[in-house]
Amino acid sequence: MKLSVRLVALAAVLVTAACAPQTSGTSSPGQDEKSGTLRVWLFQEVNNEPKERLVDSVVAEFEKTHEDTDVTVEYIPVETRAQRIRAAFNDPRSAPDLVEYGNTDTAGYVKDGGLADVSEEFAAWDEAEDTDPTARQSVTVDGRVYGVPYFVGVRALYYRTDVFEELGLEVPRTQAELISTAKRIRAARPELYGIAVGGAYTYGAMPFLWAHGGELATGKGGSYASAIDRAEAHRGIEAYTSLFGDDNCPAAKCAGMGGNDTVTAFASGKAAMAIGGDFSRAAVEAGEVRGAYAVVPLPGVERGSIAPAFAGGNNLGVLKSTSHRTLAVDLMKRLASKETQGRLFDAMGFLPTFSDVRREVAAQEPFVKPFVETLAAGTRFVPASPAWARIDSSQVLPTMFQEIVSGRKEVDAAAEDAARKMNEAFGSAG
């Protein structure tokens, strides 16, 4: 008899648990058993119940197909994922067979030797051909594929329709218009930020850098060099940091703000605009501006253009240590299939990674349209290097922005220091 799917919500304190082996059977890695217990780790969401119901249904169908196979699903906190997953890499007895992971973690996990190369299975999957290029890039390292994209998230421009109507403003169509509009709002309504920005909001700043022709880094195949100190990047940095000041978002208050802080400022009615994700909708709908806002793609430099957005999101990957590779790959594809991603959007609002499925959900839900347009215009990703985790956790880019907006350094000097730190990280990553 099959066991029921066990859904385990982990406790917040995981340091001890991360190091404790969890028995998954006596099978040795390298085997490919076609029955037994398959262990899955997925991320725990703020409201996890809809995700659990969907996963339950997929697992039930999977178990019907595979006799004498049971699946246990464990939901782990996103904040402590790195410790838990890396501990599993080092101790196969505690490791799941299949894991959800953040798409910026791919290169680091590959370097750690934890993820299985599924290039052949991905190429043979008929649905894979409709995966958008950036999502495909997020599971690719040195030309090899280490998982499947699960969902994608991008950011666009939220704005207060009531404030724009009151002040007779047009929706900005260029970044120059965005900056001038923000400052006009602040002058007319000094109790508001024209647009809420944050010195620690890396993914809100990147579209300014990319729209001006800048790059985070150049290179490929694991060998990268920072490009943050080049002229094109400087122009984007200058555009973004020009929004910090008493004429829009005072540096004393905004330099330390991150993405959640800027969305909270908008949702609470303290800002007329903000750069938020499709995943920010629930927070905005729960705030003071419910019913009085709209969303458009963040404009680029040229009128009518869309600034390249960072393509965030999560992937699913099979661990190299699994003794159930065939089963794990099958369940991975089922959880990330077109049908399941469509249902995941309905349940959680997560955007599908398949271009055709995204078009379908956009036709059903008008709110999604600006985010789908942003994706269609072309998104960007961080360097596919294990060094990115160090660069990100060391706050290299937020430090650069904060040094500039505080007046401690000019753009050239701050960018040069950031480039040096990035290159040190790239060098140490081999």
Q: What is the pLDDT along the chain (430 residues), one digit of tens a residue?
A: 333 343 333 333 333 333 333 333 334 456 899 999 999 999 988 778 999 999 999 999 999 999 999 999 999 988 788 889 989 999 988 899 999 999 999 999 999 999 999 999 999 999 999 999 989 999 999 999 999 999 999 999 999 999 999 999 999 999 999 999 999 999 999 999 999 999 999 999 999 999 999 999 999 766 899 999 999 999 999 999 999 999 999 999 999 999 989 999 999 999 999 999 988 888 899 899 999 999 999 999 999 999 999 988 999 999 999 999 999 999 999 999 999 999 999 888 899 999 999 989 988 888 999 999 999 899 998 998 889 988 988 999 999 999 999 999 999 999 999 999 999 999 988 6
Q: Which residues contact 100 (CB under 8 A, 6 or more apart)?
A: 41, 42, 43, 150, 314, 315, 316
Neighbour count for residue 332 (Cβ, 10 Å): 27
392 and 421 in contact (C-beta within 8 Å)?
Answer: no
pLDDT on residue 169: 98
Residues 289 and 266: beta-carbon distance below 8 Å: yes
Torsion from C-alpha of 94, 430, 234, 132, nearest 10 degrees: -50
How many other C-beta atoms can be found within 10 angstroms of the C-beta atom of residue 135?
26
Question: Are 354 and 134 in contact, with CB atoms under 8 Å apart?
Answer: no
Bridge-based pairing state of the strands 148-153 and 155-160: unpaired
What's at 152, amino acid-wise?
V
Report DSSP state, residue 223. E
Q: How far apart are CA 289 and CA 162, in angstroms?
A: 9
Which value, in Å, is the radius of gyration of the alpha carbons in the chain?
A: 22
Give the strand pairing for 148-153 and 223-226.
Answer: unpaired
HEC profile of 253-266? HHCCCCHHHHHHHH
Contact of 139 with 315, CB cutoff 8 Å: yes
Q: Strand, coil or helix: what is 55?
A: helix
Strand-pairing partners, residue 141, are 144
Phi and psi at 299, nearest 5°, equal -70, 155
| Contact call for residues 390 and 190 (beta carbons, < 8 A) | no
Q: Which two tokens stand for residue 345?
A: 């959007």
The secondary structure element, H or E, covering residue 339 is: helix 338-348
